[in-house]
Amino acid sequence: MTQVDIAGLTKRYGGTLALDGVALQARDGELVSLLGPSGCGKTTTLRCIAGFLTPDGGEIRVDGQDIVALPPQKRDFGVVFQNYALFPHLTVFQNVAYGLQVRRIAPAEQQKRVAEALALVRLTGLESRLPRALSGGQQQRVALARALVIRPRLLLLDEPLANLDARLRDEVRWLIREVQQQAGITAFYVTHDQAEAMALSDRVAVMKGGRVVQFATPREIYQRPAEAYVARFTGEANMLPARPAQRLAEGLWRVAIGETVLEVPGATTLAEGASALLMLRPEALSLAPTGVPARVLAAAFLGASQQCDVALADGTRLRLQASPHLAVAPGDAVHLAVDAAHAWLMPDIAP
């Protein structure tokens, strides 16, 4: 049972404010990703949780207890970094057993727990290998076993797949999720890869300049981003300046794109008449016999779909995902159907 509550976390490196009031939670057994571009404070947040860095302010509560003053070795957290950091001169067994030796666990118990951990990450049989005789994916699985063998209260992973090629990344990613769920371990996972964060996480904290700008499920951050920054960071998005003309109900707005009036869901933080942005993901737009008139600028056949760039009468450019069965070519006059239920209206906040 491990529940984490982080509030008002700040950290300064000289003149740089790296963390500016980070707030985050993880429920028992939850995997929470920290997602954001380079330099937004993901690693700094994780290192504060691990205890390798002391924050300048804020609190980190684990099951109600503030751990900021607790040294890292007393936190009982398992940590996995991007660059495996295995001991090169120790075998796989010795690498995994290391944390148990430090904790003075009896040798027979060490044997048993190392065997269990290696079975979890599917490395049984490689106990006597040295790290240099392992592939990158295998080394990263040893690092995962080493973090798990101590039965950590919390698992912390900082871009653990960054050094792996695409195929291995996929394999180790699913293994991490499977092991984390099987063992029911609460985990924080740092990544700048939105697909990875969406596929793995129960909840995602999207970070921007040392702050968490949205903390929600993958579905929520993709379909209902709090601001344009989140929308763009979580996938392709057309953004149209809009002025919500009328509030129809809580979270439902009437907006116009040119001559076409739409009823779309939107953030509750919007104010009537204030400037807003209408997000239309490419899959919320399609080519139709009638609808918003547009002209095709470019079309690319992708097999399962067709990526199509179009311009509206006023010059606005949109990207849409069209059926691969339609023949479209640059210059064609077309009409767009808008799936208004999957559009999203959000406040216009500077990126």
Ligand X SMILES: Nc1ncnc2c1ncn2[C@@H]1O[C@H](COP(=O)(O)OP(=O)(O)OP(=O)(O)O)[C@@H](O)[C@H]1O
> Where along the sequence are the contacts to ligand X (CB under 6 A)?
13, 16, 18, 36, 38-44, 192
Binding-site partner at residue 192 among ligand X, Mg ion, none, CB < 5 to 8 Å by type? ligand X
* Closest separation in Å from C-beta 9 to Mg ion: 16
Q: Which stretch binds Mg ion (CB under 5 A): 40-48, 63-71, 88-96, 245-253?
A: 40-48
Q: How open is the CA angle 15-18-21, to the nearest 5 degrees?
A: 115
Contact flag: residue 45 with Mg ion (CB under 5 A): no
Contacts of 120 (CB under 8 A, 6+ apart): 145, 148, 179, 182, 183
Q: Which contacts of 210-217 are long-range, i.e. CB under 8 A and separated by 24 or more positions?
A: 210/11, 210/17, 210/18, 210/19, 210/20, 210/21, 210/22, 210/40, 210/41, 210/44, 211/20, 211/21, 211/22, 211/41, 212/22, 212/23, 212/24, 215/23, 215/24, 215/25
- Return the number of the residue (35 or 114) whose C-beta is nearest Mg ion: 35
- Return the number of the residue (44 or 223) whose C-beta is nearest ligand X: 44
Binding-site partner at residue 282 among Mg ion, ligand X, none, CB < 5 to 8 Å by type? none
Query: Are 89 and 131 contacting, i.e. CB atoms less than 8 angstroms apart?
Result: no
* Closest separation in Å from C-beta 42 to Mg ion: 5
Contacts of 99 (CB under 8 A, 6+ apart): 146, 149, 150
One residue of 6, 26, 34, 43 binding Mg ion per CB under 5 A: 43
Contact flag: residue 33 with Mg ion (CB under 5 A): no
* Closest separation in Å from C-beta 239 to ligand X: 24
Residue 155's H or E segment, with its range, is strand 154-158
* Closest separation in Å from C-beta 189 to ligand X: 12
- Return the number of the residue (98 or 189) whose C-beta is nearest ligand X: 189
- Return the number of the residue (83 or 275) whose C-beta is nearest ligand X: 83
* Closest separation in Å from C-beta 192 to Mg ion: 8
- Return the number of the residue (33 or 43) whose C-beta is nearest Mg ion: 43
Q: How open is the CA angle 44-75-127, to the nearest 5 degrees?
A: 95
* Closest separation in Å from C-beta 7 to ligand X: 18
Burial class (CB in 10 A: 0-12, 13-18, 19+), 1: exposed
Q: Which stretch binds Mg ion (CB under 5 A): 36-44, 111-119, 165-173, 248-256?
A: 36-44
The CA distance from 1 to 79, in Å, is: 18
Q: Which of 30, 144, 28, 32 is nearest to 78 (CA)?
A: 144
Residue 173's H or E segment, with its range, is helix 166-183
Binding-site partner at residue 347 among Mg ion, ligand X, none, CB < 5 to 8 Å by type? none
Binding-site partner at residue 268 among ligand X, Mg ion, none, CB < 5 to 8 Å by type? none
Query: Are 20 and 159 contacting, i.e. CB atoms less than 8 angstroms apart?
Result: no
* Closest separation in Å from C-beta 132 to ligand X: 26
- Return the number of the residue (13 or 87) whose C-beta is nearest ligand X: 13
- Return the number of the residue (43 or 238) whose C-beta is nearest Mg ion: 43
The residue whose Cβ lies closest to Mg ion is: 43
The residues that touch Mg ion, with contacts defined as CB under 5 A, are: 43
